[in-house]
């Protein structure tokens, strides 16, 4: 049991132990114990099979920031298209190649693409390397989606892979 949850449990145990030894039941004592726990777990990281758990948590926050940025920018583009007096869109389906491997990574990418307005993942090729995406406006969306997918792929790899 050398995974990331185990590192977090050790850190929380150290924080509570610190609080008990200080004989203070305040959040400041817990927080100082948590910082001491981070230092101890970080110094013992070579004994764990996985990377330091704080890097994974930071990678998750970075993925959330990337998704939030893409969500806002694509929402603005969709709002601009919809509020025009005459809607001038050319919907269509395009092929999107991915470098991700494994069901979790591909599912996460598909969900993130589908959750951004203006694009929906319709199908996954049998080799799990090609996604077929329906976009609201192909001339504008396909290049933007392909560019944002590369950003999504990097952020997903940072979260799921223990490099």
C-beta of residue 158 within 8 angstroms of C-beta of residue 62 = yes
Q: Span 72-77, mean pLDDT?
A: 88
Other C-beta atoms closer than 10 Å to the C-beta of 95 total 10
Residue 140's pLDDT band (cuts 50, 70, 90): low
pLDDT digits (tens, 9 = 90+) for 19-53: 988 887 888 889 999 999 989 988 888 888 778 88
**The pair of three-digit structure tokens given for residue 121, joined into one six-digit string:** 């993942």
Residue 162's pLDDT band (cuts 50, 70, 90): low
> Out of 59-68, 113-122, 139-148, which region has the weakest mean confidence (pLDDT)?
139-148
Is the torsion defined by CA of 92, 95, 101, 102 positive or negative?
A: positive
Q: Span 129-157, mean pLDDT?
A: 79
Q: Domain coordinates of the chain in residue numbers?
A: 4-47, 53-160
Average pLDDT, the chain: 85
């Amino acid at each position: 049991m050398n995974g990331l949850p185990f590192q977090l449990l050790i850190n929380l145990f150290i924080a509570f132990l610190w609080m008990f030894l200080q004989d203070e039941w305040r959040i400041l004592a817990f927080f100082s114990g948590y910082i001491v726990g981070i230092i101890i777990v970080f110094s013992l990281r070579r004994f764990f099979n996985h990377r330091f758990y704080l890097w994974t948590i930071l990678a998750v926050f970075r993925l959330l920031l990337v998704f939030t940025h893409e969500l806002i920018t694509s929402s603005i583009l969709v709002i601009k298209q919809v509020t025009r007096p005459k809607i001038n869109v050319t919907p269509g389906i395009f092929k999107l190649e991915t470098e991700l491997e494994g069901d979790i990574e591909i599912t996460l990418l598909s969900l993130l693409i589908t959750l951004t307005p203006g694009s929906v993942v319709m199908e996954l090729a049998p080799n799990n390397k090609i996604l077929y995406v329906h976009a609201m406006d192909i001339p504008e969306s396909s290049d933007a989606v392909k560019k944002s997918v590369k950003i999504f792929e990097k952020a997903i790899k940072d979260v799921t892979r223990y490099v």
